[in-house]
Amino acid sequence: MAEQFLGYLLAVAALLLFGSGILVTKFASSRITLDLGFLIATSTNVAFAALALAVQLALRSEALTWNAQAFWLFAAAGGFSTYLGRWFFYEAVVRFGPAKASVFQVSSPLFTALIAWLWLGEHLSLTAAVGLGVAIAGLMLVSYKPRGQTADATVAQQMPKSDVARASANPSKGTVDPTPRPMREKLLQSVLLLGLGSSFAYAIGNVLRGSAVRSWNEPVVGALVGAVLGLALHLAFSPDKSGLVGRLQQANRQGVWLYALMGVCTISGQMCLIGAMRFIPLSVATLMTLCTPLLVFPLSHLLFKNSGDVTRNTLLGGALALIGIAIVVMR
C-alpha cells in the first residue's frame, strides 16, 4: 500500500513538472524558434540527468549495479517515444490537424494497458478499467478544439515530456523523416495509420520503461539513456547541422535559459514517471501524466489571459477526467 501511494505521488510530481515545462515553453517560444529551443531543451535533458545521476551516486552508499537487458530496454524506449512517436504525431498534426492527432495521443493509456497485459501480464480491475475509460473520455473532450483555432495551443497542451518544444507553432519544422520517400507518402495519406502509429509508439516506449525499471530500479539512469538517444537522433537527422552553432551564438539569452529550464522540468518529470511505473500500473501512470491540460488551461487563463481556452467542453471534460482518475486511485 505504501509503495502504491509512492507511485501515485511520483505520477503527480511528473504531471506538475510536465505542466510547468509547457508553461515555460509558452514564455520561451516568442524569443527563440521552436526547433532550436528543442535542441537546447534536449541538451539540457542530458546534462541535468547526468548531474542528477552523479549526485545520486555520491549520496547513496551502494554502488550502481549493471543490468544490460534493462539498459537496452531504456534505450529502445527512447527510440520509440522520442523518435518514432514524435515523428508520427508531428505528421498527423501537420496533415490532419491537432484535434484529430490529439484524440489518438490521449488514447495512449489504452494501448499501454493492452501491451502491458500481453507482455507483462499486468491486469487492471474492472473498476480501474472503467475509471481509465472515463478519464480518457474526459481528456478527449478537453482536447477537442473547434475548427479555426490555431494548432499551437492544442499541440502544446497535449505534448508529452520534452516534445512540447517543437510542435507549438510549426510542427513540420525540423521534423525527422525516418522513412524513404515512397513509404513516407503512403503513411501521410492515412490519419488512422499516423494516429495509431504515434499512440502505439508512445505506448511501447512506456511499457519498455516500465519493464526496465521493475528489473533495474534506476529511473535516473533510464531517463539519461533515453535523453542521450533522443539528442543523438535529433542531431543525426537535423536538416541544418552546420548552422546550429551560429544560431545558438545569436540566440536570445533569456530564451536560451527558459528552454534550459523547460529541459530541467521535462527530464525531472521523466524520472518521476519512470519511478512511478515501478509501483503502479503503467497505463495509470501514463494517464495521470497526460492530464497536463487540466493544469495548463486554467493557468494559461491566469498567466496569459487566454480566455478562449476555458470552454464548457473544457470544464466538463476536466470534471470527467478527475472523476475517472479518482475511480482508478480509490479502487
280 vs 329: which has the higher pLDDT: 280
Alpha-carbon distance of 297 to 314, in angstroms, equals 8
For the segment 273-301, what is each residue's pLDDT rounded down to a tens digit? 999 999 998 888 888 887 777 777 677 66
Q: What angle do CA 111, 75, 44 make, to 5 degrees?
A: 105
Average pLDDT over residues 38-46: 86
| pLDDT (0 to 100) of residue 110 | 79
Q: What is the C-alpha separation between 165 and 260, in angstroms, rounded?
A: 11
Least confident of 74-83, 116-125, 132-141, 183-192: 183-192
C-alpha cell at 73: 530496454
For residue 304, what pLDDT is reported?
64
Q: What is the pLDDT of residue 172?
A: 41
**For range 123-140, the mean pLDDT:** 80
Residue ranges making up the domain that contains 207: 2-59+66-329
What's at 236, amino acid-wise?
Answer: A
221-248 pLDDT, tens digit per residue, is: 999 998 898 888 877 877 666 677 777 7
Q: What percent of the chain has pLDDT over 70?
A: 71
Give the N- to C-terminal CA distance of the chain in Å, as an integer.
12
- How many angstroms from the chain centroid is the CA of residue 199? 11
Average pLDDT in the 19-33 region? 79
More confident position, 174 or 4: 4
pLDDT at residue number 213: 94
**Cβ contact 174:166 at 8 Å:** yes
Cβ atoms of 285 and 7 closer than 8 Å: yes
pLDDT band at 70 (very low <50, low <70, confident <90, very high): very high
> How many residues can be counted in the chain?
331
Q: What is the DSSP letter of 29?
A: T
Please determine, for residue 263, whether its predicted confidence score (pLDDT) is greater than 70: yes
How would residue 74 be classed by pLDDT, with cut points 50, 70 and 90? very high
Q: Judge whether residue 166 has pLDDT over 50.
A: no
Instruction: Give the model's pLDDT for residue 224.
Output: 94
Tally of structural domains, the chain: 1
Name the band, by pLDDT with cuts 50, 70 and 90, for residue 251. confident
By the 8 A CB rule, do 222 and 74 touch? yes
CA 245 to chain centre: 27
